[in-house]
Amino acid sequence: DVKVTQSSRYLVKRTGEKVFLECVQDMDHENMFWYRQDPGLGLRLIYFSYDVKMKEKGDIPEGYSVSREKKERFSLILESASTNQTSMYLCASRRTGGASGYTFGSGTRLTVV
Amino acid sequence: GDSVTQMEGPVTLSEEAFLTINCTYTATGYPSLFWYVQYPGEGLQLLLKATKADDKGSNKGFEATYRKETTSFHLEKGSVQVSDSAVYFCALSDLKQAGTALIFGKGTTLSVSS
């Protein structure tokens, strides 16, 4: 069964910590994405990557960075976590091609205290 | 730019009622259209899709028809169940921008009571 795996379902971190959220896909997809989901705001795109070592800013990249050293892994980094980064984080991957949808991971609920 | 507009929720229905969740889109190209479902505490799952005008996507009793003339992709189900309670997202992918991000609506929460 093909899948996107996010390393943690729940995470609690302290303000100022450096936080790594990991995402791995086994479908050989070229494209990977990080979203955050907040009540009333829907899904907001943070960063995406269309190839190894390539990255593009999404709608809300401030306070985040990403790393894609291997095709199957896309990491989201919070350089210095803040309470306003408490959210549900969703990773997705997609094959290149307009008819291809996303496959999502189960999400990581991050709480910054 | 491209956008997706969904009806605001929450939608509250009794079991076996008919469901419609409206979705309209704006796109300069020829998008593919998707419905995703998110059950409580989980990520999003693809529910159905349509890749060209007049296509009908269907899955688990849900249907949606790609209407180019009205730029719509409304989700319907003839008889909802309590287990259908979830958040539903409409999304589009522009074929001219293959490989870039899908564009999502804000989601519609459906609550079904027995």
Please name the helix (run of DSSP H) or strand (run of DSSP E) that holds residue B27, with its range, or none: none
Q: Does B93 touch chain A (CB under 8 A)?
A: yes
| CB B107, CB B39: distance < 8 Å | no
DSSP character for A99?
Answer: T
Rounded CA gap, A73 and A70, in Å? 6
Establish, for the pair of chains A and B, how many residue pairs have beta carbons separated by less than 8 Å. Answer: 70
Q: In 3D, which of A47, A91, A49 has the Cα closest to residue A71?
A: A49
Tokens of A22: 């990991």
Q: Does A14 touch chain B (CB under 8 A)?
A: no
pLDDT tens sequence across B78-88: 999 999 999 99
DSSP strand E in chain A: where? 4-6, 10-13, 19-21, 23-25, 31-38, 42-49, 56-57, 64-70, 73-78, 87-94, 103-104, 108-112
Residue B4 Cα, gap to closest chain A Cα (Å): 12
- What is the SS3 assignment for B61-73? CEEEECECCCCEC
Task: List chain B residues with pLDDT less than 70.
Answer: 95-99
Task: List chain A residues with pLDDT less than 70.
Answer: 1-2, 98
Residues 7-66 of B with CB under 8 A from A: 30-32, 34, 36, 41-46, 49, 51
Indicate yes or no: CB of B49 within 8 angstroms of CB of A33: no
Identify the pLDDT of residue B71: 95
Please name the helix (run of DSSP H) or strand (run of DSSP E) that holds residue B20, with its range, or none: strand B19-21
Identify the pLDDT of residue A95: 86
* Nearest chain A residue (CA) to B105: A42
pLDDT tens sequence across A41-63: 889 999 999 999 899 999 899 99
Q: How far is CA B60 from CA A96, B16, B40, in A?
A: 27, 14, 18
Indicate yes or no: CB of A105 within 8 angstroms of CB of B43: yes
Q: Which chain B residues contact residue A42 at CB under 8 A?
A: 89, 104-107
Identify the pLDDT of residue B56: 97
Measured between its terminal Cα atoms, the distance across chain A in Å is 36
